[in-house]
């Protein structure tokens, strides 16, 4: 299958100054061919590559309306005698009846608008098929991926030369997927994608969207982040944005630095008030004569044909990135291709060059292989001639060598026989010694087994004795526990009785004081009569302490 390269003639939208015009028929048709093919493929009911004219009328009428051409679909009825058309027929009709009606020259802004609207019309026709297969990307993101795919893919003819496929090379698919992963801040597994590319080959749009979902955004749960990342790579590939970021710009009237959001393309540097890029504050036209240089304090001086602009970055790394991006924009400002299309064409040419180099190397290798085969055939002929001439000499030499070998074998056999006999005698001697040692070891083993059996019997007897002693100790311990509990109960009862007696004594004394007022000496004497004497107290304490010690024991 030979790829039909589309879009290589398209001039960048931002390369042409206002008022500049160009021939647009071939350029516009080449760059919308992939979009039109997807719309055409979605209208097919089978895989024959044919679509009914009635369906193509709607598509043709919409494209004609966008180009301010009306009634262009009516000619389809008289175009060819069949009711169906293939893609080649549709493309030829669009070229002759639709795009040929455009003026020879057209402002580039209108050309850019036409291409964008044709892409939207084609997407409206085929989006249902792709929207149903995706649950991660929103409709806007799918449309942006659709435009990126059509920008980088190639229209390839099938083997039967009647139908086509828009296929994306694995290297381009890897480049887009890696850009999306970097925009999301995730980790890029290049080896996994290479293995996937080797198994799948070239990508169609539906598998490409599925691969982006499974390999790039499967770990990201924030759909807003996914949408923003897709928009970012859409700006890079389709809108030809080289770099975005914040820079400070020196004002015209007031010489103060004010921060803006800058968007760099090969032909201009536009700055906005905010990151949303809704309110445009101004632009700087960049051409091949522009210059950029760095100044102290993270400053950047951009000199254009209009004037000199003073810019300032936030740090050294940001300034280096902007200097490199501005220099790249200046280098591509005079090109007749957009930066991304030029890079895609360059990568395509490199792949074709590598393929041609591989084919040349393969052809050279085949030539070398053929030359080697011829040389080997000649060598075989010479070898056969030499072999025929030296055949008799070799035969005599072989007989002589055979006799020498037989003599040497006989001599060696006698030596080997003597050596074997000596070895046999030594082996027999060692065998008798080993057998005697084995019998001795068996006797020692029997003795050790008997001793081990006796020790085991003795140990079992000791173990049984220890178990009986342990059981008696446990019974004694349980008996002491029971006695301790009984003594605790008795001590608790004694304590209660003492407490009750003291309470009763206090009550009686109080009653006695109320009934008969006593003198101080009588009260003391009566109180002493209820309190144990000093001689009796140690005895009571000794009884209690002994009871407690017995309880603890």
> Residue 516's pLDDT is what?
60
> Residue 147's pLDDT is what?
92
Q: How far apart are alpha carbons 274 and 244 in whole angstroms?
A: 12
3-state secondary structure of 270: strand
Query: Which residues touch 243 (CB under 8 Å, ≥6 apart)?
Result: 262, 263, 264, 321, 322, 325
> Residue 197's pLDDT is what?
84
Q: How far apart are alpha carbons 241 and 263 in whole angstroms?
A: 7
Domain ranges of the chain: 3-223, 243-337, 391-552
CATH number for the 243-337 domain, one of 3.40.50.300, 2.30.29.30, 3.40.50.970, 1.10.10.10?
A: 2.30.29.30
Q: How far apart are alpha carbons 338 and 151 in whole angstroms?
A: 11
> Residue 270's pLDDT is what?
93
> Residue 163's pLDDT is what?
83
> Residue 9's pLDDT is what?
34
> Residue 263's pLDDT is what?
94
pLDDT in tens, the chain (553 residues): 334 333 333 333 334 343 333 455 777 888 899 999 999 999 987 778 899 999 999 999 999 888 888 888 888 888 988 899 999 999 999 988 888 877 777 665 577 788 889 999 999 999 888 887 777 889 899 999 999 999 999 998 876 666 889 999 999 999 999 999 998 888 888 888 888 888 888 999 999 999 998 888 888 888 899 999 999 999 989 888 999 999 999 887 778 889 999 999 888 899 999 988 888 999 998 888 899 999 888 899 999 988 899 999 999 999 999 999 999 988 888 765 678 878 888 888 998 888 888 888 889 999 999 998 998 888 888 888 888 888 888 888 889 899 999 999 989 999 999 999 889 999 999 999 999 999 999 999 999 999 999 999 999 989 999 999 999 999 999 999 999 999 999 999 999 999 999 998 889 888 888 876 555 555 555 555 544 444 444 544 455 555 555 545 5
Query: Which residues touch 52 (CB under 8 Å, ≥6 apart)?
Result: 43, 83, 84
Q: How far apart are alpha carbons 235 and 418 in whole angstroms?
A: 94
Q: Where are the alpha helices (DSSP H) in 44-96?
A: 53-66, 87-93
Conformational region of residue 148, where left means phi above 0, alpha means psi within -120 to 50, and beta covers everything else: alpha
> Residue 291's pLDDT is what?
93
Q: How far apart are alpha carbons 76 and 53 in whole angstroms?
A: 7
Query: Which residues touch 325 (CB under 8 Å, ≥6 apart)?
Result: 242, 243, 264
Q: Which one-letter DSSP state was computed for residue 168?
A: B
Q: Could you count the other beta carbons within 10 Å of the beta carbon of residue 379?
A: 10
Largest CA-CA distance found in the chain, in angstroms, rounded: 165
> Residue 394's pLDDT is what?
85
């Amino acid at each position: 299958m030979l790829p039909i390269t589309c879009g290589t003639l398209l001039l960048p939208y931002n390369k042409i100054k206002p008022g500049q015009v160009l021939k647009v028929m071939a350029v516009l048709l080449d760059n919308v061919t992939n979009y039109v093919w997807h719309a055409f493929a979605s209208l097919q009911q089978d895989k024959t590559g044919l679509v009914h004219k009635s369906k193509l009328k709607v598509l043709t009428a919409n494209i004609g309306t966008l180009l301010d051409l009306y009634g262009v679909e009516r000619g389809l009825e008289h175009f060819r005698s069949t009711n169906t058309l293939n893609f080649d027929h549709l493309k030829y009709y669009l070229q002759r009846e639709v795009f040929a009606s455009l003026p020879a020259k057209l402002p580039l802004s209108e050309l850019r608008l036409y291409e964008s609207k044709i892409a939207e019309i084609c997407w409206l026709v085929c989006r249902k098929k792709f929207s149903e297969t995706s649950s991660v990307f929103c409709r806007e993101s799918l449309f942006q991926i659709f435009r990126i795919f059509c920008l980088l893919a190639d229209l390839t003819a099938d083997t039967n030369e009647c139908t086509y496929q828009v296929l994306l090379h694995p290297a381009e698919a890897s480049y887009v997927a890696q850009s999306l992963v970097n925009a999301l801040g995730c980790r890029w597994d290049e080896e996994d994608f290479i293995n996937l590319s080797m198994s799948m080959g070239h990508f169609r749009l539906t598998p490409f969207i599925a691969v982006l979902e499974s390999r790039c955004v499967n770990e990201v749960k924030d759909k807003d982040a996914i949408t923003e990342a897709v928009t970012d790579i859409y700006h890079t590939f389709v809108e030809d944005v080289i770099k975005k970021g914040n820079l400070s710009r020196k004002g015209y009237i007031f010489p103060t630095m004010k921060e803006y959001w800058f968007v760099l393309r090969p032909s201009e540097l536009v700055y906005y008030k905010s990151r949303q890029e809704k309110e445009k504050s101004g632009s700087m036209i960049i051409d091949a004569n522009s210059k950029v240089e760095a100044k102290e304090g993270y400053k950047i001086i951009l000199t254009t044909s209009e004037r000199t602009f003073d810019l300032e970055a936030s740090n050294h790394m940001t300034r280096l990135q902007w200097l490199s991006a501005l220099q790249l924009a200046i280098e591509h400002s005079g090109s007749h291709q957009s930066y991304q299309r030029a890079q895609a064409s360059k990568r395509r040419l490199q792949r074709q060059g590598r393929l041609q180099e591989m084919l040349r190397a393969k052809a050279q290798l085949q030539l070398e292989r053929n030359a080697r085969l011829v040389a080997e055939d000649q060598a075989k002929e010479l070898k056969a001639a030499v072999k025929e001439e030296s055949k008799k000499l070799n035969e005599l030499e072989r007989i002589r060598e055979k006799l020498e070998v037989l003599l040497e074998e006989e001599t060696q056999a006698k030596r080997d026989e003597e050596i074997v006999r000596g070895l046999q005698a030594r082996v027999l001697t060692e065998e008798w010694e080993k057998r005697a040692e084995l019998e001795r070891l068996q006797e020692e083993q029997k003795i050790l087994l008997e001793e081990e059996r006796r020790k085991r019997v003795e140990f079992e007897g000791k173990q049984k004795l220890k178990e009986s002693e342990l059981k008696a100790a446990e019974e004694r311990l349980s008996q002491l526990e029971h006695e301790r509990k009984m003594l605790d109960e008795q001590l608790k009862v004694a304590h209660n009785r003492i407490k009750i007696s003291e309470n009763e004594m206090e009550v009686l004394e109080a009653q006695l004081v109320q009934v008969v007022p006593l003198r101080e000496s009588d009260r003391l004497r009566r109180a002493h009569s209820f309190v144990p004497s000093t001689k009796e107290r140690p005895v009571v304490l000794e009884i209690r302490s002994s009871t407690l010690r017995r309880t603890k024991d």
